[in-house]
Amino acid sequence: MRFWCLLAELADCDPSSGASPHSQLSTVTPEDLGLLEEGLASPEPLSLEEVSERYESSCPASTASILEQDTPKRWKQLEQWVADLQAEVVSLRGHKARCERATLLLLRELLQVRAGLQLQDSELKKLQQEVQQVAQAPEKEALQFPGLKSQNQNQMQALDKRLVEVREALTQIRRKQALQDSERKGAEQEASLRLAELTGKLKQEERDRGVACGALQKSQEEASQRVDQEVARMQAQMTKLGEEMSLRFLKREAKLCGFLQKSFLALEKRMKTSESARLRAESGLREELESWWQQLQELDAKRVQALRGQCQQEECHLLEQCRGLDKAVIQLTKFVQQNQVSLNRVLLAEQKAWDAKGHLEDSRAGELATYLQESLEAMQLASELAQQETHSALELLREKSQALEVSVAELVRQVKDMSDHFLALSWKLDLQEQTLSLRLHKAQNEWEVAEKRSRESLARSREEAEAHLREVQKKVDSLPRQIEAVSDKCVLHKSDSDLKISTETKARKFEVEAIRQELASLLSSVQLLRGGNPGRKIAEIQGKLATFQNQIMKLENSIQDNKTIQNLKFNTETKLRMEEMATLRESMMRLWSEEGPWALTLGSKRVLMSLVRQQFFIKDVGPGEVVPVNCWGMYQAVRWLQWKAVLMNLVARRRSRVVLEKPLGQKPAHRLSSLPLSPK
């Protein structure tokens, strides 16, 4: 079904979506199909008949071996047989995949041929349409232009030749199509026959595979049932062994708890002393850091105040200079405005005088013209007198014009002088602006130099503080190493105590065996005495039994006294530990609540919350509750030491990462947040 679904999907796909059919030539030929059939018939993968024969031959043998004996050889044979069957199934699946690929390639090529035929049909239709259009065009032109028959005839001849060529090409294309159709039909028939053969063979293979898979499933079910039975048997044995081992471990732990408690109390005392020393060192270092930080803050405040005073003085001086310059500029602008107003007044007065003189001359010229028109005859008679008068008038006019030109030149000269004076004033203003800009630049440079010096001094102070903090951090970092050394000593002490405990247990076992031997000897002597009744031996045995009972009573009393003393010590130590933890929490809260040199970062908040939520070392116990003696066992103590070593290693790794990743300016805050605290 899957195969036929793939065929339907390939037949429904659009042939025009891929590349052109002529570019992708057919890659699978009838020879390839023949090779595929030979591959199907080839003896490389085992046939299903051989598989069934092997299965039939191996099944009775395997059943017989199962009935006869249950040995590992049978399991190996079954595993080899299953592996062979799996390999054969894999080879059959690969063969089926190859057949499916070949059929898919054939279908793709058929679709490509079909697409090529469709393209050729479309090209033929286009050619027919073009021929019809070309045949209809001359008729229309003949109807529209009857005078152009000779030209149309030539065109018709050329078109006839072209039509003949097109018809020949069409006949060749049709012949090629007929050949391709015949080849395609033959290829389709061959492909359908070979597909039918392939499908028949694949169906037979699937049936044989189903039979083989059913046999495999039955054999696997039988093997799984047997394995389940064996596993259930082994589980029952394991549960019994586990119960026995747990009972033994509980007995041994009950014996060893008393011995471990003494060593553990000594270890706790040493840990308390080391923690008290560490807390003292931390408090001293923090006090030194706070003193250094206060000194640095005071120095910074003094330097900042001095710099602010210098800046204010320089700003006042610059403001006074700028105000003086503003006053000078205002005075210059007033002087220039006054000069411009005076020049405008002079020019207006001269223009008015010139206009008045022009009007007078015009009126005089009109009077002269009227006078000349009225007295032409008189002028002819007295031309000499008139010429003399006119010459004198012209000379006067020339003198007046020269005087006017001189006055205009003087005015122009004055205007030029005023413009030169204005330019000089503008140059002076530019020079003053440049000098002021230079002074401002110098002041800015001095201010920048002062800022650089202050920054350098601050950087130096910061470097000194960072160096001091590094020294403090080194001291603080040495504390976990000391703690690790103490923990190593504790581990060594624990190993020594374990050895002592083991030796003491062995000695006590020997003592118990000796007591058993003595009891056996006593019993034997009692039996002997029962046979013969001597009074002395009975009295000696009774005295020995009395002394033995007295010793046992003394041992019981000493054990009870030790238990009571240990209970009292343990209760007092738990109370002291609770008080120390409360004081430590209060001191940490007070340190972080006060405004110190570093802000409360996220890590320090987490540390503080962990301190607040931190529980006690052994167990959550109220202040008024009585603690039993065997609160911890051997395994709890060993686990605590292992966890402590792991936590100290993690703290050291985190410190190294922080030192490598964070910059110098951010180190102190994060370092304080990552100080080693008493872990839970």
> Within 10 Å of residue 655's Cβ, how many Cβ atoms?
19
Nearest to 40 by CA among 91, 3, 1: 91
Same domain, 151 and 239: no
Backbone φ and ψ for 176, nearest 5 degrees, come out as -60, -40
Mean per-residue pLDDT for 374-392? 65
Residue 20 has pLDDT above 50, yes or no: no
DSSP state of 46: P
Same domain, 167 and 198: yes
Helix, strand, or coil (residue 25): coil
Query: Which residue is listed with tokens 């009227």?
Result: 370
Helix, strand, or coil (residue 333): helix
473 within some domain? no
| Three state DSSP letters for 615-634 | CCCCCCCCCCCCCCCCCCCH
* pLDDT for residue 241: 76
Residue pLDDT, tens place only, 203-229:
887 788 778 777 877 877 887 787 788
> Whole-angstrom Cα distance, residue 431 to residue 192?
105
Residue pLDDT, tens place only, 445-495:
888 887 788 788 778 877 887 887 787 677 767 766 776 776 677 677 667
For residue 315, give both structure tokens: 């700003």
Contact 118, 15 (CB under 8 A): yes
> Whole-angstrom Cα distance, residue 134 to residue 130?
6
- The reported pTM is 0.21
Percent of the chain with pLDDT over 70: 63
Residue 146 binned pLDDT confidence (cut-offs 50, 70, 90)? low
**Interaxial angle between packed helices 149-374 and 535-593, expressed in degrees from 0 to 180 and rounded to the nearest 10:** 50
Backbone φ and ψ for 415, nearest 5 degrees, come out as -60, -40
Between 20 and 342, the higher pLDDT residue: 342
Q: How many CA atoms lie within 13 A of 96 on its CB side?
A: 17
* pLDDT for residue 106: 78
Same domain, 114 and 255: no
Residue 536 binned pLDDT confidence (cut-offs 50, 70, 90)? low
645 within some domain? yes
> Whole-angstrom Cα distance, residue 627 to residue 338?
108
Contact 131, 170 (CB under 8 A): no
Does an H or E element contain 196, and which?
Answer: helix 149-374
Residue 49 has pLDDT above 70, yes or no: no
Same domain, 539 and 665: yes
Contact 298, 605 (CB under 8 A): no
Lowest-pLDDT range of 163-167, 346-350, 374-378: 374-378
Helix, strand, or coil (residue 147): coil
DSSP string for residues in 223-288: HHHHHHHHHHHHHHHHHHHHHHHHHHHHHHHHHHHHHHHHHHHHHHHHHHHHHHHHHHHHHHHHHH
Range of the domain at 642: 534-680
Backbone φ and ψ for 46, nearest 5 degrees, come out as -65, 135
Most confident of 155-169, 507-521, 525-539: 155-169
Residue 298 has pLDDT above 70, yes or no: yes
188 within some domain? yes
Contact 537, 594 (CB under 8 A): no
Same domain, 198 and 139: yes
Residue 393 binned pLDDT confidence (cut-offs 50, 70, 90)? low
Residue 272 has pLDDT above 80, yes or no: yes
> Whole-angstrom Cα distance, residue 34 to residue 198?
11
Question: Which amino acid is it at 528?
Answer: L
> Whole-angstrom Cα distance, residue 179 to residue 170?
14
* pLDDT for residue 592: 63
Residue after which a domain boundary falls, among 206, 226, 246: 226
**Interaxial angle between packed helices 48-68 and 72-144, expressed in degrees from 0 to 180 and rounded to the nearest 10:** 160
> Within 10 Å of residue 385's Cβ, how many Cβ atoms?
11
449 within some domain? no
Same domain, 118 and 192: yes
Distances (CA, A) of 133 to 121, 129, 137, 519: 19, 6, 6, 136
* pLDDT for residue 385: 67
> Whole-angstrom Cα distance, residue 396 to residue 392?
6
Nearest to 267 by CA among 485, 480, 490, 483: 490
- Classify 318 in phi/psi space as left (phi over 0), alpha (psi -120 to 50) or beta: alpha
Same domain, 101 and 185: yes
Question: Which amino acid is it at 660?
Answer: L
Residue pLDDT, tens place only, 401-419:
677 778 777 777 877 777 7
Same domain, 149 and 220: yes
375 within some domain? no
* pLDDT for residue 232: 79
Q: What's the mean per-residue pLDDT of the chain?
A: 69
Same domain, 219 and 239: no
Residue 602 binned pLDDT confidence (cut-offs 50, 70, 90)? very low
* pLDDT for residue 677: 37
Helix, strand, or coil (residue 318): helix
Residue after which a domain boundary falls, among 246, 263, 280: 263
Contact 676, 651 (CB under 8 A): yes
634 within some domain? yes
**What is the count of structural domains for the chain?**
3
* pLDDT for residue 490: 65
Same domain, 92 and 131: yes
Residue pLDDT, tens place only, 64-94:
444 444 567 777 777 787 788 778 778 878 8
Contact 3, 103 (CB under 8 A): yes
Residue 62 has pLDDT above 70, yes or no: no
Same domain, 222 and 255: no
* pLDDT for residue 225: 83
270 within some domain? no
Nearest to 187 by CA among 36, 32, 39: 32
Percent of the chain with pLDDT over 90: 0
106 within some domain? yes
> Within 10 Å of residue 48's Cβ, how many Cβ atoms?
19
Same domain, 219 and 238: no
For residue 379, give both structure tokens: 């002028």
* pLDDT for residue 64: 42
Contact 257, 634 (CB under 8 A): yes
Residue 6 binned pLDDT confidence (cut-offs 50, 70, 90)? very low
Distances (CA, A) of 344 to 307, 333, 338, 411: 55, 17, 10, 11
Residue 395 has pLDDT above 70, yes or no: yes
